[in-house]
Amino acid sequence: MLDLSPRFPQPSFHRRRFLAALGIAPACLSGLLTGCGAGDDDPPSGPAGISAQEAANAAVAQGIVGALCQYIDGKASQPPQLGTAGFRRLGQASSVQATDPFAIGSTTKAMTAALAARLVDSGRLQWESTLEQMLPALAAGMRPVYRTVTLRQLLAHRSGLMAFQGNADVQALVNGLDGDIPDDVAMQRQLFARWVLSQAPIAGIRPGVDYAYSNGGYTVVGAILEAQTGQRYEDLFTAQLARPLGMQNPWRDPFTGDSLPVAGHFGSPGKLTAYQLSDPLSSIFTHLLAPAGTSLHLSAADYGLWLQWHMRAMAGQSTPLPASYLGALRAAQDEEYLMGWIARKRVATPMLAHDGSTLGFQSLAWVDLDGQGAGHLWANCAEGGGSPWVSTALIGLMERMRRHYRR
């Protein structure tokens, strides 16, 4: 087990004002809970179904700089359908390519849940293991209300921990940290967990009982995985998840030296700017929150494998995915959030779905629970100007893609 005593190596960055929004909220969570997938129940006179390529073209026509859309058919004879459109960066002539990695945002959360399930299946943790048991070195400093919060509750957003969906929580963290921030990202997550577990729950939320979306909770799960294994979250991701699933380029992010071709953008249609992390402290916080979905970039081929394994599992086939993770997904109730997915069961074709936003990118992914279809839509634009225009576009295009391929 990793020693959680505070040892902060030098040199390091001293705390400073941090105003850049991390943008790690689920971009259309309310839409997923109430409307995503409704296309299956729309009358025949609704918008026509479209292919993955047509969806990418339509996304760009609505003001998105670059888009990548993929549909995966459950029939083994059908290859994945992939569409790309637009540009890697505003003002440049380089087009989006099928091999380009995009930041996948909070759709990373399901991968964090699957990593936790690896430890559950191996007997190192249980779904009912408590924060006090999983992080004993931090127990004395935890608020008592958090000590009995379980791993299952953390992954279902029932921890009550601070949301970290914007500047206010991040600024509170910066103001609350005394001294220097360690260079090592695993130690940064330990420092983060120590601090957030000492803070009051989200107002009006009862830890262990009430739902409240929390990137802080998923980051604490990352700290738990590191404490239990002595390995960085990113290395665990590669060894325990990506490699068994067959991903070729499993962990890519701009904070580990990767030079990534596609830039994210913020703003409204016609008023977009490329996103840049210019402050070293903003880079630190974005990197340490990776288990919640701030920094991971994947190719369509690798993310498609992730979805394909879920489809095969839902169709009853054997897969490398953790058994306890799949068991929880199969038992999900309608509208329930668990294991990094939201279950939609009261539609013609029930599904799991999730979306995310980070670094000027937005993503939306789904898996049909009958194992016959899955897909994702990626945009190198995120919301701006007070209007959820990107998420609205992606939800509508997902519905039309499902209508086209499931007919």
Coil, strand, or helix at residue 106?
Answer: helix
Domain-embedded: residue 126: yes
CATH number, domain with residue 361: 3.40.710.10
Tokens in use for 390? Answer: 């990107």
Percent of residues in the chain assigned helix, strand, coil, to nearest 5: 40, 15, 45
**What is the domain range of residue 303?**
25-405
Longest dimension (CA), the chain: 64
- Residue range 154-164: mean pLDDT, rounded: 97
Return the pLDDT at 371: 95
Residue with structure tokens 């959680």? 4
Q: Does residue 1 sit within a domain? A: no
Total structural domains within the chain: 1
Residue 336 lies in a domain: yes
**Residue 141 — very low, low, confident or very high, per pLDDT cuts 50/70/90?**
very high
What whole-number distance in Å separates Cα of residue 262 and Cα of residue 84?
Answer: 13
pLDDT of 45: 53
What would the mean pLDDT of 43-58 be, rounded to a whole number?
85
Residue 394 counted as domain residue: yes
Dig out the tokens for 80 from the structure: 């994945």
pLDDT for 9 beyond 60: no
**DSSP at 406:** -
Q: Could you report the per-residue pLDDT of 85-99, keeping only the tens digit for each?
A: 999 999 999 999 999
The answer to the question of residue 365 being in a domain is yes
- Residue 101 has phi, psi (to 5 degrees) of -80, 140
Q: Is the pLDDT of residue 60 over 70?
A: yes
Q: Give dist(CA 381, CA 276) in Å, integer.
A: 13
**Rounded Cα gap, residues 182 and 179, in angstroms:** 10
Under 8 Å between Cβ of 93 and 118: no
d(CA 134, CA 151): 9
Q: What is the pLDDT of residue 385?
A: 64
The b/e string for 235-255 (b: 16+ C-beta within 10 A; e otherwise) is: ebbbebbbeebebeebbbbbb
Instruction: Give domain status of residue 16, yes or no.
Output: no
Residue 283 has pLDDT above 50, yes or no: yes
Which of 361, 307, 325, 382 minimizes the C-alpha distance to 117? Answer: 325
Please check the confidence at residue 142 and state whether its pLDDT lies above 80. Answer: yes
Residue 2 in any domain: the answer is: no
Residue 8 within any structural domain of the chain = no
